Amino acid sequence: MKKNIGSVLALYPTPAVVVGAMNGDKPTWTLVAHVGIIGHDRILVSLASAHFINSAIKATGKLSVNIVDEGILSEADYVGSVSGVRADKSTVFVYDLGDGGTPVIRKSPLTMECSVADVYSTPGFESFICTIDDTCVEEEYLDEAGKLNYRSLKPVLFEMPTYEYLKTGEVIGKCLSFKKGI
């Protein structure tokens, strides 16, 4: 029998991403693990209401979602550990401005430029509902058909209860292939 452990958010691990937004003429960054898919045309980025970056996102209506791999994990961890109120994080990453005007981390293997379609507020959090305007990926992470290959991309995952970063694992099977034996 399963044990009831209460109302626990138990959907970890999730991909670690660095969210970027322009704060005037400089970027600001923060590490985020509360991201999700809410449809084929929308994603959600949930941030504590007190985050410095929230006001920049609301002012521009834009943000970038930069996938974290092991190559940028140290910098990503740093931007998640200091507040933009106390530290200027604009120079932590080398970046370009994407077509949508958001800061895009050069070393991130995959970046989505997003426009904010709505903001859903809950006690202590602002969840930005976003459309994806552009997705840019290093070509080495595409397969022969031009599709994303997460076996080579290897995004870092974050697990909240233990505050640990995890590597993605091996393929264990193809979706919709297991029902044959049922």
pLDDT at 180: 64
pLDDT tens for each residue of 23-80: 999 999 999 999 999 999 999 999 999 999 999 999 999 999 999 999 999 999 999 9
Flag whether pLDDT at 182 surpasses 70.
no
DSSP letter at 143 equals -
Flag whether pLDDT at 170 surpasses 90.
no
CATH numbers and ranges of domains, the chain: 14-181 (2.30.110.10)
* Nearest-angstrom CA–CA distance, 49 and 122: 9
If one counts every other C-beta atom within 10 angstroms of the C-beta of residue 55, the result is 13
| Cβ(52)–Cβ(84) below 8 Å | yes
Flag whether pLDDT at 160 surpasses 90.
no
Tokens at 134, concatenated: 């552009």
